[in-house]
């Protein structure tokens, strides 16, 4: 058998019945304010059920057009827009006259929902921003802050899980991701379409995050998994005619170059915790970024520190108040980042970006 045609299929379709579908759909409309609209809501539920049965992933499509392997293939209009936004961001990365820094707040804690208190990461980010501006002096630097904790407190802001297309074949993973939206499954409002351009236009990226259970917080781990398309992803969904596994396998077997779409961006990492696991997460983050061919920021690319080690959670902000050194250390990491970004833009980092043939590009 041709290896490309060796696709292992499931014996189940994963579909739920109408009763379970209705139960899940109507949970969004609990509350007395919806009582007068029950008939209308049920009508919407019935329409959604029909869409679900048909598996209608993309209700609105248009022909891909010139520049694609199959110009007449119908692409999801959401992907077309996401791709245009990503291409624009990549052009800004190349042509921007000033450096652009992306700071990622990896904490899930948001004061506007259950925890009722700001995260320590947000306070450390303020210190990092001040340090970057102070180092830049008269040079204008654009700083974007990606607060992943917005996902826990905002309506309709979601980072969905990676579906693992790469494990079938790398070309099946499209850049930007084409797995979402999936309308028949209700998988909409995917935040990653906004996040991919933020990474693409950034010259330097700083992660500031707590550690949860020796690992990345939930939203940050979702982001990490969904960035897989930036490390070898296929820019032409028509080449696989959407999600056709056989075509993707054949492309990979014919020779895939695993393009690293974020190669050369500078990174820094700050991880903090209070009991255990800070070095585990620091290693996970730096290994992930290294694998995507990002460049560490000089001699201070990463930091892992405990705040209020083994002290009560209730006094952790007071512990941070007392720890003047960690603020200075975060400032140093941020300063190293902007200095390295500036040096790279001046062409002074060629030794760190050697173009060598990778015998194992996967």
The secondary element (H helix, E strand) that includes residue 296 is: strand 295-296
Euclidean distance between CA atoms 296 and 133, whole angstroms: 20
pLDDT given for residue 353 in this prediction:
66
What's the pTM?
Answer: 0.96
| 306 contact partners, CB below 8 Å, separation of at least 6 | 272, 273, 274, 275, 278
* Arithmetic mean of pLDDT, 100-129: 98
- The β-bridge partners of 100 are 142
The share of the chain scoring above pLDDT 90, in percent, equals 90
| pLDDT at 109 > cutoff 90 | yes
pLDDT given for residue 194 in this prediction:
98
| pLDDT at 1 > cutoff 70 | no
CA dist 185 to 51, 53, 152, 157, 181, Å? 9, 10, 21, 16, 9
| Pairing status of strand 302-306 against strand 142-147 | unpaired
Structural domains in the chain, CATH included, are 75-346 (3.40.50.360)
The share of the chain scoring above pLDDT 70, in percent, equals 99
Q: Are 209 and 267 in contact (CB under 8 A)?
A: no
Using 50, 70 and 90 to split pLDDT, how confident is the model at 137? confident
DSSP string, 38-92: HHHHHHHHHHHHHHHHHT-S-SSEEE--TTSSSTTSEEEHHHHHHHHHHHHHHHH
pLDDT given for residue 186 in this prediction:
96
pLDDT in tens, 306-319: 999 999 999 999 99
Q: Are 140 and 101 in contact (CB under 8 A)?
A: no
pLDDT in tens, 37-78: 999 999 999 999 999 999 999 999 999 999 999 999 999 999
pLDDT in tens, 221-274: 999 999 999 999 999 999 999 999 999 999 999 999 999 999 999 999 999 999
| 14 contact partners, CB below 8 Å, separation of at least 6 | none
Q: Are 121 and 210 in contact (CB under 8 A)?
A: yes
* Arithmetic mean of pLDDT, 292-315: 95
Instruction: Please name which of 270, 238, 260 lies closest in space to residue 72, comparing C-alpha atoms.
Output: 238
Q: Are 117 and 109 in contact (CB under 8 A)?
A: yes
């Amino acid at each position: 058998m041709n290896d490309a045609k060796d696709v292992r299929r499931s014996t189940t379709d994963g579909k739920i019945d109408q009763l379970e579908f209705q139960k899940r759909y109507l949970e969004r409309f609990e509350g007395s304010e919806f009582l007068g609209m029950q008939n209308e809501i049920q009508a919407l539920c019935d329409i959604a059920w029909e869409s679900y049965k048909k598996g209608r992933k993309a209700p609105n499509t248009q022909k891909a057009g010139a520049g694609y392997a199959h110009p007449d293939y119908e692409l999801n209009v959401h992907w077309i827009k996401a791709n245009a936004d990503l291409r624009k961001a990549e052009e800004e990365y190349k042509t921007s006259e000033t450096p652009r820094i992306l700071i990622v707040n990896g904490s899930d804690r948001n004061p506007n929902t259950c925890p009722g208190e700001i995260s320590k990461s947000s306070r450390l980010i303020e210190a990092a921003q001040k340090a970057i501006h102070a180092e830049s002096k008269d040079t204008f630097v654009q700083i974007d802050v990606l607060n992943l904790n917005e996902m826990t407190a905002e309506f309709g802001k979601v980072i969905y899980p990676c579906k693992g297309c790469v494990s079938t074949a790398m070309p099946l993973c499209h850049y930007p991701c084409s797995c979402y939206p999936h309308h028949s499954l209700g998988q909409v409002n995917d935040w990653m379409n906004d996040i991919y351009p933020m990474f693409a236009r950034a010259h330097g990226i700083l992660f500031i995050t707590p550690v949860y259970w020796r690992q990345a917080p939930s939203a940050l781990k979702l982001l990490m998994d969904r960035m897989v398309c930036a490390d070898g992803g296929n820019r032409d969904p028509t080449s696989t005619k959407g999600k056709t596994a056989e075509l993707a396998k054949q492309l990979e077997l014919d020779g895939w170059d695993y393009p690293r779409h974020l190669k050369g961006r500078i990174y820094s990492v700050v991880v903090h915790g209070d009991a255990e696991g800070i070095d585990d997460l620091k290693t996970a983050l730096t290994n992930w970024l290294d694998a995507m061919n990002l460049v560490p920021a000089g001699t201070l690319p990463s930091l892992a520190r405990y705040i209020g080690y083994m002290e009560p959670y209730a006094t952790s902000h007071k512990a941070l108040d007392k720890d003047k050194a960690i603020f200075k250390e975060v400032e140093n990491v941020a300063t190293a980042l902007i200095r390295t970004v500036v040096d790279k833009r001046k062409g002074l980092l060629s030794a760190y970006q050697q173009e060598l043939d990778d015998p194992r590009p996967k």
